[in-house]
């Protein structure tokens, strides 16, 4: 990506976005890590409708480029690694939709912009939990300033737990 970074904007997920989300979730580079597109679209729709997640379509230079959400890990008993996190620590999930936009620094750019929003809203720290085998994601998150702090191993595999603190975020801005 050129040094003059494109403008990043966030649009709350609406029903009109669901077919685009399904198409993106069907792309091999997304499906490998997110799972069945039908199930994932329903989880996104339901999570946004109930307020369990704040989901957004992110745009680069006014073009839809992917999905990002924040959630509160401490509210999920099915995530044992998250139970002891304070309520002011959001979790983030992200994927790049169009395959031609992968490998171009989009995820780290979007994560930095999204982190700014979360810190402005009062977050003390932000966590992200990629599959440890997802090297592309781990690299993008590290470029955005996230650092590993633990890992969680269970029946579904190895999860790398990464964090970005407000202090580190402000230091690197």
pLDDT at 1 over 90: no
Position 13 scores a pLDDT of 97
Question: Could you give the CA distance from residue 99 to residue 32 in angstroms, rounded to a whole number?
Answer: 13
- Answer whether residue 1 is part of any domain: no
Closest Cα to residue 136, out of 173, 109, 108, 100? Answer: 108
How many Å separate Cα 89 from the centre of its chain?
14
Position 39 scores a pLDDT of 97
Phi, psi of 60 (to 5 degrees): -115, 125
- Answer whether residue 150 is part of any domain: yes
- Answer whether residue 2 is part of any domain: no
Tokens of 169: 């975020």
Report the domain count for the chain. Answer: 1
pLDDT at 88 over 70: yes
Tokens of 119: 């810190």
Question: Could you give the CA distance from residue 111 to residue 5 in angstroms, rounded to a whole number?
Answer: 13
pLDDT at 36 over 60: yes
The radius of gyration computed from the CA coordinates of the chain, to the nearest angstrom, equals: 15
Q: Note whether 67 and 94 are within 8 A (CB).
A: yes
pLDDT at 58 over 70: yes
Q: 173 by DSSP, 3-state: which?
A: coil
| CATH number of the domain within which 14 lies | 3.40.630.30
- Answer whether residue 90 is part of any domain: yes
What is the length of the chain?
Answer: 173
For range 37-53, the mean pLDDT? 96
CB atoms within 10 A of CB 135: 10
For the chain, give the mean pLDDT: 92
- Answer whether residue 127 is part of any domain: yes
- Answer whether residue 3 is part of any domain: no
Q: Note whether 55 and 46 are within 8 A (CB).
A: no
Tokens of 76: 């999920």
- Answer whether residue 36 is part of any domain: yes
Range of the domain at 15: 8-171
Question: Could you give the CA distance from residue 136 to residue 158 in angstroms, rounded to a whole number?
Answer: 15
């Amino acid at each position: 990506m050129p040094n003059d970074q494109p403008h990043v904007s966030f649009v709350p997920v609406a029903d009109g976005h669901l077919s685009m989300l399904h198409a993106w979730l069907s792309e091999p580079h997304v499906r490998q890590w997110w799972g069945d597109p039908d199930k994932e679209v329903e989880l996104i729709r339901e999570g946004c409708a109930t307020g369990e997640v704040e989901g957004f379509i992110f745009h680069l230079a006014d073009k839809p480029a992917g999905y990002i959400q924040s959630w509160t890990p401490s509210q999920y008993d099915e995530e044992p690694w998250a139970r002891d996190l304070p309520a002011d620590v959001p979790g983030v999930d992200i994927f790049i939709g169009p395959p031609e936009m992968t490998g171009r620094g989009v995820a780290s750019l979007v994560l930095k912009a999204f982190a700014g929003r979360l810190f402005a809203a009062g977050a003390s720290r932000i966590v992200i939990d990629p599959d440890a085998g997802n090297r592309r994601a781990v690299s993008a998150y590290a470029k955005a300033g996230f650092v590993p702090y633990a890992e969680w191993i269970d029946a579904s595999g190895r999860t790398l737990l990464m964090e970005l603190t407000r202090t580190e975020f402000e230091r690197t801005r």
